[in-house]
Structure 1
Amino acid sequence: MRVYQQMAQPMWSQTLVIATLATVLVCSTSENPFVEQGKDRVGSLPGQAFNITFAHYSGYITVNEESGRTLFYWFIEALEDPHSKPLVLWLNGGPGCSSIAYGQSEEIGPFHIKADGKTIYLNPYSWNRFANVLFLDTPVGVGFSYSNTESDVLNNGDKRTAEDNLVFLLKWFERFPQYKGRDFFISGESYAGHYVPQLSQVIVKYNSAIKGNAINLKGFLVGNALTDDFYDQLGIYEFMWSSGLISDQTYKLLNLLCDHESLIHPSDSCANITEIANTEMGNIDPYSLFTPTCHANASLGQLNQLVRRKHRKGILAPIYDPCITTHSIAYFNRPEVQRVLHVDPDHKPAQWETCSDVIYDNWKDSPPSVLDIYHELIHSGLRIWVFSGNTDTVLPVTSARRSINALKLPTVSHWRAWYDDDGEVGGWTQEYAGLTFVGVRGAGHEVPLHKPKLALILFKTFLAGASMPNLELVSAS
């Protein structure tokens, strides 16, 4: 179960800003940054039987010299004309899950992995068609990110993750100075519903404190995002009942026994009725209601554990191949893959994994809501979009809508269908003052995995700052 600690929202103080600036100035390399870039450039990947026209880089940025906290990144330039395209940071959640495993290898990245765990293929719906995309494994202990201080992995939390991510970005721009001042967006899903707005808040405060624009943040985009524990919970119950997954009696008891107080002080009665609900749902993949589970590597007990861990980023991520995550595990544990990606042999994990149970089980701070950050950032003028696949039971569309309604924003454009290039309904959307909501038809927890074409339309429209296409617009084109 996710950490439900009632904690005050982290405050990003002037002291933190000064310390962060000092860290970046002291630790910035004296080497020519373009020489350092060259060291991180990736050649042909193992299992790559195709040519590419874009450059990509992977390596490490140390975010804390004293403890040796070091984050691993994979940066993929735009397919065409990267100098004119914006920069997008992608974060996966968990907490404890790898953006390399999910964002790059299953969802929005260009390099996807075949079932043999050895061969890769080009994703035709990669987001680097419209942007330069930076994937970050955060915090330390995720993927190939590491610390020289063993206790760091046991002391991760929201506040330190946001601080380390800010230092990472400032130092990354020192290594890639050609991207300084570039329009910058942040995107992610699931528990990144915390990471993304928290990092956005830190950046805004940092820029304000130095009276400059160190990072040219323009907005953020989050999907099936953990936002507010209470509204998320209510939305889960509503979705389970309205989708016919649980009985009327169980739905009534969930609302009765799992009230707001149970989030602060979990009760046995709430836990018991939740177990009953999980049993009634059966052995489905809760992250994607209508796709098959991976029978090859998931026992009945494992599937039940997935259902219980409602806020955990998917261990299973089925689309046409429900066992897709096993392909990443096989590929990124290959020594030749690690060599090409510049993984430090002295700091590589004994076994690379998509998600870390150690990080998940030892998470230190997690505020019950980030809606206060939304209020703050909406007033700062950022472009903010929330999207949701409507076949996810873990953080369903009903949860997203409840959280947005709690913001009490004026409606600018009322609820309507939006359409793909073929004139088919892609989902539904509503625009508010300062925020846009987009539902994606038929998508599970990982929208770009289940509906890559629709996700790419969403992303392109977000970058343009436009409205989702209506039928008249599609017909005209």
Structure 2
Amino acid sequence: MIVLFLAALVSLASAGIKEDHEVKDLPGLNGTLSFKQYAGYFSISPTRKLAYWLLESQGNPNKDPLMLWLDGGPGCSSLSGILLENGPFRISTAGKPDGVLYENPHAYNKFANVLYLEAPAGVGFSRLDDDKFSFTDNETATDNLKFLQEFLKAYSEYENRDFFISGISYAGCYVPHLADTIINHKDEIKLNLKGIAMGNAITDQKWLNQLSIPNTAFYGILRLNKLNEWTNEYCPTGFENFCGKEVAQSPTANVPINRYDFADQCGPDCEEPFMQAFLNNHKVKDALHFEHKHWTHCNESLMNTFFQNLCDDAEALVRDLLAHKIRVLYYFGTTDNRVPFISGDFFARKIGGNGELTHWFVNGVYSGTKTHYPNNITFTTVLGAGHPSAKHKPQQVANVIQKFISGDDNWDA
């Protein structure tokens, strides 16, 4: 009897949290939404609490999978995923200084319930009240697991739901670490982990600068004779072998281009002021149940902490996930030179072996390559996309993610 009474109290408390966290009005948004959204905090320790924003599916929220979105950095906010990449609304750069939102018809919550998490603590609106706490990828994964446990107490409808983890850039480290942590604590969390999807993902930090060199040659930014000269002198065994510290001497070091997108002269600075103004609007903070903390896209202090102990290589984690029948997707924009697609190609081939190369189209327009390997790792390119891929190619990237989640092998749309 006592057990039933306590269970009822927990259920009422959880229902109260969900009701309190519902976002009923969002400044800057024109029109009404066809889905529910929730935002707020869950405490994971006496000194750390994580901020989240949940967007229910516009399809079938009661049956569609739950997808967790993590941004990279390390130390950058996942809310940029909503406002600049794959959310149902984007921040306008032509509107008022404090932000006007417009519809994104290629949102991920068209086919999934999407949970955006600001992690680790100290990023964005998330709170870190211990100046001496130092994060690693493992500690971040442990905190994210604790968050998911607290989240499921309030949103029990997602228990045992199909679950996917996704993200960009340094999430190439965050995501497999969290997936591995979930597998190792499967009896402690009621989620049916099915797959992970990472865009423009870091797989091994040391390769990034080296592989940006042939990438620039592919696009004609670096002349082939310069590439050959440098390769012969510093990397005679080929780019698939690490060339060492000489990478710093590469001929691309001072090329005046946007490393995140060859085709985008302005880069992230174009949207950054508008996004920051919007999220620092007190009315927006109140609507999202966030504290009146100054929001910045990236926490430089946390970033510097991570740089002392960066993710070296995700290979062992990804191999373990594949052994547990977790599907893995890597997608890369071809005009990204910060995390070049060649790095993802090398990584997938190293793990996957011999894969089948195909091509995919959206509305009859060539959109990229897809290589699927027998052990369920897939590598794809998104033609003309930068970093992040969904910024300029939202329809193409949403198509990739939807097909991956549904298990549809035909990526044409």
TM value normalised by structure 1: 0.78
Give the residue type in structure 1 aligned to 2:286.
Answer: R
Is residue 225 of structure 1 aligned with residue 206 of structure 2?
no
- C-alpha separation between the residues in 1 aligned to 2:289 and 2:10? 18
2:304 is aligned, of 355, 361, 368, to 361
Q: Deviations over 1:277-334 (max 9, x none)?
A: 232x21x2111111221xxxxxxxxxxxxxxxxxxxxxx43xxxx7122210111111
Taking a change above 3 Å as real, the CA distance of residues 469 and 262 of structure 1, as seen in their structure-2 partners, is closer
Q: Deviations over 1:88-125 (max 9, x none)?
A: 0000000011101x211111111211122321122111
Q: Deviations over 1:426-473 (max 9, x none)?
A: 111111012111111111111111101111111110111121435xxx
Aligned to 2:384: 442
Aligned to 2:4: none
Is residue 432 of structure 1 aligned with residue 349 of structure 2?
no
Number of residue-to-residue matches in the alignment: 395
Q: Deviations over 1:339-381 (max 9, x none)?
A: 1111124xx2xx3111111111121532310011111111110
Does the CA contact (< 8 Å) of 1:159 and 1:365 recur in 2?
no
Aligned to 1:73: 52
Aligned to 2:88: 110
2:320 is aligned, of 353, 359, 376, to 376
Quote the sequence identity (%): 31
2:264 is aligned, of 291, 312, 318, to 291
Aligned to 1:181: 160
Aligned to 1:302: none
Is residue 340 of structure 1 aligned with residue 304 of structure 2?
no
Taking a change above 3 Å as real, the CA distance of residues 186 and 129 of structure 1, as seen in their structure-2 partners, is same
**By how many angstroms is 1:163 displaced?**
0.8
Does the CA contact (< 8 Å) of 1:237 and 1:251 recur in 2?
no
Give the residue type in structure 2 aligned to 1:327.
Answer: F
Segments of 5+ residues of structure 1 without an aligned counterpart are: 1-27, 294-315
CA-based RMSD of the aligned residues comes to 2.2
- C-alpha separation between the residues in 1 aligned to 2:252 and 2:209? 13
2:403 is aligned, of 461, 469, 473, to 461
Aligned to 2:359: 417
Does the CA contact (< 8 Å) of 2:99 and 2:275 recur in 1?
no
Where in structure 2 are the equivalents of 1:274-353 lying within 5 Å? Answer: 274=250, 276-279=251-254, 281-282=255-256, 284-293=257-266, 316-317=267-268, 323-345=270-292, 348=293, 351-353=294-296
Taking a change above 3 Å as real, the CA distance of residues 445 and 256 of structure 1, as seen in their structure-2 partners, is farther
2:330 is aligned, of 386, 389, 395, to 386
**By how many angstroms is 1:232 displaced?**
3.8
Give the residue type in structure 1 aligned to 2:407.
Answer: G
- C-alpha separation between the residues in 2 aligned to 1:374 and 1:256? 34
- C-alpha separation between the residues in 2 aligned to 1:355 and 1:367? 18
Higher mean C-alpha displacement, 326-335 vs 85-94: 326-335
Does the CA contact (< 8 Å) of 1:254 and 1:270 recur in 2?
no
**By how many angstroms is 1:405 displaced?**
1.6
1:405 is aligned, of 349, 352, 357, to 349
- C-alpha separation between the residues in 2 aligned to 1:287 and 1:255? 27
Give the residue type in structure 1 aligned to 2:152.
Answer: F
**By how many angstroms is 1:235 displaced?**
2.4
Give the residue type in structure 2 aligned to 1:332.
Answer: L
Aligned to 1:41: 22
- C-alpha separation between the residues in 1 aligned to 2:404 and 2:126? 30
**By how many angstroms is 1:149 displaced?**
1.4
Is residue 253 of structure 1 aligned with residue 236 of structure 2?
no
- C-alpha separation between the residues in 1 aligned to 2:242 and 2:92? 46
- C-alpha separation between the residues in 1 aligned to 2:67 and 2:271? 25
**By how many angstroms is 1:213 displaced?**
6.0
SS of match in other structure, 1:278: coil
SS of match in other structure, 1:84: coil
Is residue 193 of structure 1 aligned with residue 193 of structure 2?
no
Does the CA contact (< 8 Å) of 2:330 and 2:380 recur in 1?
yes
Does the CA contact (< 8 Å) of 1:54 and 1:77 recur in 2?
yes
Segments of 5+ residues of structure 2 without an aligned counterpart are: 1-8
**By how many angstroms is 1:80 displaced?**
3.1
- C-alpha separation between the residues in 2 aligned to 1:29 and 1:270? 56
Aligned to 1:129: 110
Does the CA contact (< 8 Å) of 1:235 and 1:402 recur in 2?
no
Taking a change above 3 Å as real, the CA distance of residues 57 and 237 of structure 1, as seen in their structure-2 partners, is same
Taking a change above 3 Å as real, the CA distance of residues 120 and 84 of structure 1, as seen in their structure-2 partners, is same
Aligned to 2:5: none
Taking a change above 3 Å as real, the CA distance of residues 359 and 254 of structure 1, as seen in their structure-2 partners, is farther
SS of match in other structure, 1:185: strand
SS of match in other structure, 1:186: strand
Aligned to 1:304: none
